[in-house]
């Protein structure tokens, strides 16, 4: 058990004001070529201003975020989600405001027909909290040592397993604030209709995400101190889960509660779907973040491909091809789902394709301001 007092934050910490975009402004930010604003960079994260230019040209299909016929519906829901999420984030200001609009848009893209607004707000909170946990684990926010970061994310896992097991103080610092938000979110998820049937799956994938973050922190330090890289498959084993989309997709089942007649714990199809979802986005995330991570002394999938003798442009092309193969595999796997899971499968594909193509188009959290 971690000693709670060991994780007191030493950095200054105060709630920050947040600007809000209207739906038409959010639409413009995604439909036009993005321009980066570094205004109020402190609230965006330590390396928000770093971006990367693609080394190859790709077809227009690679950049299609969602079918044009769904633009109005997606932007309308996004416009409703964003202020609802902002209200939640005002109570937990450690969640970076640069995450807000993009996560609301993902929530709107992912929305399952027939789902309620409250369900979509809850699921979009899951997206926000995963970005916040990643920010803590990666040192994007806060001033934790490595040992403190490893212990803190252990406490996050304990909170998901039993929400009352940990005591959190949102005013104590960024990591504690995120813990308090996670605690509240976990209680809301455990009250969802499908919590009894699907809660185990969500906790399993939350655990994989946390374990992956811990592995990535340790391997990052080995690379920085000894220039030691992990094996290719070892990197992907962690990276497919730290991208967090598989954990989110499991949460969707908890909230939507499809009437599944068989035991999903004995269904390898679900495991395969969640793995392909993680891998298809992992590769394009690595494409977009390569320059930033290189400057920070980190590695990613492109680094490992280049270690095999590829140029940066060749590694980028290979990563795009791998992502495309995972997307096609995901489409074929979800087509095998029973009718009760059909809409969930469509949402998974829709969201995976959207996130993948966003990374090809721009940094995920870069917005016009």
Residue 2 is assigned to a structural domain of this protein: no
Residue 226 is assigned to a structural domain of this protein: yes
Q: In angstroms, rounded to a whole number, what is the distance separating the alpha carbons of residues 131 and 236?
A: 19
CATH number of the structural domain spanning residue 140: 1.10.600.10
Residue 56 is assigned to a structural domain of this protein: no
Task: For residue range 84-120, list pLDDT tens digits in order.
Answer: 999 999 999 999 878 888 999 999 999 999 999 999 9
Residue 185 is assigned to a structural domain of this protein: yes
The arithmetic mean of pLDDT across residues 116-140, rounded, is: 94
Residue 148 is assigned to a structural domain of this protein: yes
Instruction: Name the pTM for this structure.
Output: 0.85
Residue 65 is assigned to a structural domain of this protein: no
Structural domain containing residue 182:
71-361
pLDDT at position 3 is 27
Confidence of residue 35 (pLDDT cuts 50, 70, 90): very low
Residue 57 is assigned to a structural domain of this protein: no
Confidence of residue 51 (pLDDT cuts 50, 70, 90): low
| Residues above pLDDT 70, as percent of the chain | 85
Please give the structure tokens belonging to residue 155: 């406490």
Q: In angstroms, rounded to a whole number, what is the distance separating the alpha carbons of residues 168 and 159?
A: 10
Number of domains forming the structure of the chain: 1
If phi > 0 it is left, if psi is from -120 to 50 it is alpha, else beta; for residue 268 that is: alpha
Q: In angstroms, rounded to a whole number, what is the distance separating the alpha carbons of residues 297 and 165?
A: 36
Average pLDDT, whole number, for the chain?
A: 85
């Amino acid at each position: 058990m971690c000693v709670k007092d060991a994780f007191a934050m030493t950095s200054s910490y105060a709630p920050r004001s947040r600007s809000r975009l209207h739906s038409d402004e959010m639409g413009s930010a995604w439909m036009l070529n993005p321009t980066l604003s570094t205004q109020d960079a402190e609230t965006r994260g330590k390396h928000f201003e770093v971006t990367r230019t693609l080394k190859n040209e790709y077809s227009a299909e690679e950049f299609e975020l969602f079918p044009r016929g769904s633009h109005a519906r997606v932007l309308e829901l996004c416009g409703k989600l964003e202020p609802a999420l902002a209200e939640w984030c005002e109570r937990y200001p450690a969640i970076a405001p640069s995450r807000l609009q993009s996560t609301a848009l993902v929530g709107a893209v992912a929305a399952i027909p027939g789902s309620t607004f409250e369900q979509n707000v809850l699921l979009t909170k899951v997206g926000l909290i995963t970005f916040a946990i990643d920010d803590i684990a990666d040192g994007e926010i806060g001033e934790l040592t490595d040992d403190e970061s490893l212990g803190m994310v252990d406490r996050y896992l304990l909170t998901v397993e039993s929400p009352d097991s940990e005591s959190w103080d949102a005013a104590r610092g960024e990591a504690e604030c995120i813990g308090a938000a996670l605690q509240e979110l976990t209680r809301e998820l455990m009250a969802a209709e499908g919590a009894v049937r699907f809660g185990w799956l969500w906790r399993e994938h939350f655990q994989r995400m946390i374990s992956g973050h811990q592995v990535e922190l340790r391997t990052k330090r080995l690379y920085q101190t000894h220039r030691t890289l992990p094996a290719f498959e070892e990197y992907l084993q962690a990276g497919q889960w730290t991208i967090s989309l598989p954990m989110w997709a499991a949460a969707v089942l908890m909230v939507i509660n499809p009437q599944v007649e068989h035991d999903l714990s004995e269904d390898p199809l679900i495991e395969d779907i969640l793995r392909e979802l993680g891998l298809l986005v992992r590769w394009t995330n690595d494409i977009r973040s390569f320059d930033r991570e290189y400057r920070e002394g980190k590695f990613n999938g492109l680094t490992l491909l280049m270690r095999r003798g590829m140029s940066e442009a060749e590694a980028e092309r290979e990563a795009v091809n791998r992502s495309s193969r995972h997307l096609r595999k995901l489409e074929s796997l979800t087509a095998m789902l029973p009718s009760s899971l059909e809409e969930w499968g469509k949402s998974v594909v829709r969201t995976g394709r959207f996130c993948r193509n966003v990374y090809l188009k721009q940094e995920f959290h870069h917005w016009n301001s």
